[in-house]
Amino acid sequence: MFSEVFLKYMENTEVYDILRNEKVEGCFRYVDDILIISKENHTDINEVLSSFNSISPGLNFTVEHEQNNRINFLDLTIQKYVNKLTVSIYRKPTTTDATIPKDSCHSVEHKLAAIRYITNRINTYSLDSTSKQKEINTVKQTAHSNKYDTTIVNKVSNNKPEREQDGQNPKWTKFTYVGRETRLITKRFKNTNLKMAYTTNNNLGKLLDTQKTTSSKNKFDKNGVYQLTSPTCLKKYIGQIG
């Protein structure tokens, strides 16, 4: 939160003048990822980078230029043509098709939300017909790999979650989902003003042994999450399409 406040302050006090002086056509930021649109004969992106890095000693920006008239920004690949830009869904090379499996002990609401998220992008983003069909096939492959019938992609796309009507103020309660028993209990509240939210016990906090043990002298025998520090993770990222 405080980092976002600082970046907002930086944009309003320093960045705006840099973009104006360097004749940048457009600048878009999400958290610490920045996309800059410029004309190569008007803007020197290296000068922009140098100016950005001079704002604060605690910030270190890097730059990545478009390759073959395309660049990746967040979950999009932006392709540049002579008179237009097109977008397609971008996935990192390390991305897998893992999601909540159909046979896992999670509520159906959690499972559908996971499928709905990757399905909604198809209709939310302005994809051309080729990119759209490619993404539909990818989502269906993900559903199939996690033991769902591929028709679930059409179902979650057509059936939107119910929204509360104006004036309604339902109360929410939380249940730990353990299977059919939880569903049978919560079903009794279907026609009431009480809404259900589900949690699970099969998460990392529950699965990891957090109790301290003194029997082993070898620190590598202990369970836990270990921290690795990478100097490159502290760098901010600027993408340029020009």
Percent pLDDT > 90 in the chain is 21
Residues 10, 70, single domain; the answer is yes
233 band by pLDDT with thresholds 50, 70 and 90: low
The reply to whether 62 falls in a domain is: yes
Residues 17, 83, single domain; the answer is yes
Residues 114, 38, single domain; the answer is no
The reply to whether 182 falls in a domain is: yes
Tell me the two tokens of residue 177: 């989902």
Residues 75, 6, single domain; the answer is yes
Residues 22, 73, single domain; the answer is yes
Confidence at residue 223, expressed as pLDDT on a 0 to 100 scale: 60
Residues 41, 82, single domain; the answer is yes
Residues in Cβ contact with 133 at an 8 Å cutoff, skipping those fewer than 6 apart: none
Mean pLDDT of 138-161: 85
Mean pLDDT of 206-229: 62
Sign of the dihedral defined by the CA atoms of residues 19, 20, 21, 22, in that order? positive
Mean pLDDT of 34-58: 89
Confidence at residue 146, expressed as pLDDT on a 0 to 100 scale: 93
The reply to whether 96 falls in a domain is: no
Last residue in a domain, options 158, 190, 217: 158
Residues 83, 14, single domain; the answer is yes
Residues 80, 22, single domain; the answer is yes
191 band by pLDDT with thresholds 50, 70 and 90: confident
Instruction: Provide the residue range defining the domain that includes 27.
Output: 2-90+235-241
Residues 8, 31, single domain; the answer is yes
**pLDDT tens profile 6-39:** 888 888 888 999 999 999 988 999 988 999 988 8
Tokens 């003194």, residue located = 214
164 band by pLDDT with thresholds 50, 70 and 90: low
Instruction: Report the domain count for the chain.
Output: 3
Confidence at residue 214, expressed as pLDDT on a 0 to 100 scale: 55
Tell me the two tokens of residue 5: 């406040």
Measured in degrees and rounded to the nearest 5, phi and psi for residue 232 equal -75, -20
Residues 117, 148, single domain; the answer is yes
Beta sheet of 235-241, edge-to-edge order: 26-30, 33-37, 235-241, 60-65
Confidence at residue 230, expressed as pLDDT on a 0 to 100 scale: 62
**pLDDT tens profile 77-110:** 999 888 888 899 999 888 889 899 999 888 888 8
Residues 71, 117, single domain; the answer is no
Range in 68-72, 96-100, 169-173 the model is least confident about: 169-173
Mean pLDDT of 113-118: 89
The reply to whether 43 falls in a domain is: yes
Confidence at residue 195, expressed as pLDDT on a 0 to 100 scale: 84
The reply to whether 210 falls in a domain is: no
The reply to whether 7 falls in a domain is: yes
Measured in degrees and rounded to the nearest 5, phi and psi for residue 26 equal -160, 150
**pLDDT tens profile 15-24:** 999 999 999 9
Residues 30, 67, single domain; the answer is yes
Last residue in a domain, options 158, 183, 217: 158
Whether residue 211 has pLDDT greater than 60: no
Asked if residues 115 and 162 have their Cβ atoms less than 8 Å apart, the reply is no
Confidence at residue 198, expressed as pLDDT on a 0 to 100 scale: 86
